Homo-oligomer: A and B are copies of this chain.
Amino acid sequence: MAEATRKLTMADIHAAAERLKNWGRFGAADEIGTLNYTTPADIVAAARLVQKGKVMSLALAFDHRGPQGAKSSYGSIGRFNPIHLMLRTGTDAYSGVLDHRKIRGADDIIIMPMQCGTQWDGLGHIFYGDHMWNGYDCRTVTSAGAQKCGIEQTRDRMVGRGVLFDIPRMLGEKYLGDGFAVTCDMLDRAERHFGVTVKRGDFLLVRTGQIEAKLEAKNWDGYPGGDAPGLAFETLDWLHKKEVAAIATDTWGVEVRPNETDEAAQPWHWISIPIMGLTVGEIFDMSELARDCAEDKRYEFMFVAPALPVTGAVGSPVNPLAIK
């Protein structure tokens, strides 16, 4: 397998782009891509999966202990952990300096990259040549933000059936190793193993266990941009055929690293976001969900993960919820 993945070339990437291109599929003015797959009926059905009233958050805490800034072979792209600051505090209150306002309160502020933690990649996040999703000119994403495909377009879309594929559990491992590629065969096997068939409009969550490995080590070194388990390039075809609404993993960048080629960085991203219009989730902490699914043997659930509708954003921090 490893040998096969090494052979990926730019020609393969371009062929995939031709083969998997969804431009125009949802109309010339579409800005949300595969999120269109989820229908109202899918949402009603997803809600029916709520049977024990348990809510699980898939978000890592947003704070200075996050993964950004850890050592990595990948050159910095300017991401940093959230900086949380106070505008007024309880110590101000205690000191009496707020009393002229006749109310004692605290306010706060955050400075954070949209991609610093548990996040959705929006469709303005990756370009293919000079184009972005649906063929829009990449110059519509300027210093003033994304004039097309901003994350705000998804404000009422991140609801549907979630499916968890807990790959290490299927393989009898605690977590997958760096460089481990999740292939189409494994996804097929996961359907049988977990007793759930992925269908059109689903939100597919693929667990590798890397996030727990780093949390247990109390050290994020290697996580942001370093080697990692992840999806093989070939899974693009699988996801295209299945017509999933979105996909997320518990890694920094979904796809296997080292990448399957040296000619392109993150080749899976070249296709998934700009060509297929696939919304991608990263740094989803699936540990609690995985334990719960192993316990009740139900790997499907209602999934609600609303992006913050920041106008023109190419991604969003998110607190994704799995509800069973």
Contact = CB atoms under 8 A, between A and B. Distances in A.
B59 A50 contact: no
A104 B127 CA distance: 5
Contact of A127 (B39, B78, B90, B114): B90
Interface in A51-83: 51-57, 59-65, 69, 75-80, 82-83
Contacts of A129: 104
Contacts of A105: 125-127, 269
A246 interface: no
Interface stretch (A41-49, A170-178, A234-242): A41-49
A192 interface: no
A320 B159 CA distance: 12
A196 interface: no
Given A95-B142, A308-B308, A89 B89 contact: yes
A177 B14 CA distance: 58
Interface residues of A, number: 109
A6 interface: no
Nearest to A315: B108
Contact of A108 (B44, B56, B145): B145
B63 A156 contact: no
Contacts of A88: 77-78, 143-144
13 contacts: A55-B157, A62-B152, A82-B310, A89-B142, A91-B92, A91-B95, A95-B142, A103-B265, A103-B270, A105-B126, A106-B146, A107-B314, A108-B315
Given A91-B138, A91-B143, A102-B265, 18 more contacts: A40-B52, A44-B51, A47-B302, A47-B323, A57-B306, A62-B311, A63-B312, A78-B107, A89-B143, A91-B95, A91-B97, A95-B139, A97-B142, A103-B265, A106-B124, A106-B314, A107-B115, A306-B321
Interface of A: 39-44, 46-48, 50-57, 59-65, 69, 75-80, 82-97, 101-115, 124-130, 132, 137-146, 152, 155-157, 159, 263-266, 269-270, 302, 304, 306-315, 317-321, 323
